[in-house]
Amino acid sequence: MAKVLAISSHVTRGAVGLAATVPGLQHLGHEVWALPTVLLASRPGLGRLVKRMVPAEDLAGMLSALEADGCWSSLDAVFAGYFPSSEGVTAAARAIAGIKAAKPGIPVLIDPVIGDSGRLYVAEATAGAIRDALLPLATIATPNAFELSWLTGFAPRTLEETAQTARRLGPPTVIVTSASETQRGVSTLLVNGDTVLEREMPRRDGIPNGAGDLFAGLFLGHLLEAQALEAALQASLANLDRVLAASEGCDVLQLSFLKYP
């Protein structure tokens, strides 16, 4: 069992952000210290958009308390996802840098949640802070195709160009979700140095939000079981597809369909 600090959004209803990432990690037996950056009653598009941001100073204070309690050396991995402000990104980056100093070599997965479908849904300053302050700390990044393009300033047209662009992002391992889509399937592309792995999943219609958040938790969880990159990718996508198949036409991801292994 590994201990994972997970920093991202939390919704009461909707299985996105931490509500998807944490179950992905927990079902593999890992202990998760979940720290929300914003609280929402329901995911956007599902119900009333009532949200409360966690002020950056409060986020920094909670992280400082964990550090003061000597928690950093006991962590086995860090996950960071959605941030509503650049100040929150700065607070998290400062803490993650401290964690890496206390635990050299610790896996740090950054899911740069900044946008999709050709548009940013965070402020440009927040997206820029994720690019400039968080991604340099990452050992793994999991952008979607739009996020990869925005963060690098390149717009790849083929999978080969996507792999080249992923190497520009910086982290040693980059997994591009929804790297390409056809009527038949959706491809995920893992790039690590000269290694390029493409895996296609069936295209499914009417899928609720949160698939990327769940995938990030599953991949990190499998990697913490000392699985090789290819095995972790395969196991994560297989589990994700089970959930997506059960979630077609539903309002929320059907996380009860998570299976082990």
CA distance 237 to 233: 6
Burial of 105 (0-12, 13-18, 19+ CB in 10 A): exposed
| Residue 86 within a domain | yes
What is the percent of the chain with per-residue pLDDT over 90, rounded to a whole number? Answer: 90
Confidence of residue 43 (pLDDT cuts 50, 70, 90): confident
DSSP assignment of 238-261 equals: HHHHHHHHHHTT-SS--GGG----
| Residue 134 within a domain | yes
| Residue 115 within a domain | yes
pLDDT at 260: 67
More confident of the two residues 49 and 159: 159
| 261 pLDDT more than 80 | no
**H helices present in the chain, as ranges:** 18-26, 56-68, 86-102, 124-129, 145-152, 159-169, 211-223, 229-247
pLDDT at 115: 95
Least confident stretch, 106-120, 214-228, 247-261: 247-261
| Residue 256 within a domain | no
| Residue 148 within a domain | yes
| Residue 95 within a domain | yes
| Residue 106 within a domain | yes
| Residue 151 within a domain | yes
pLDDT at 42: 85
pLDDT at 183: 84
pLDDT tens-digit readout, 87-101: 999 999 999 999 999
Domain with 120, as residue range(s), is 3-250
* CATH code of the domain in which 67 resides: 3.40.1190.20
pLDDT tens-digit readout, 127-164: 999 999 999 999 999 999 999 999 999 999 999 999 99
What's the number of domains the chain is made of? Answer: 1
| 47 pLDDT more than 80 | no
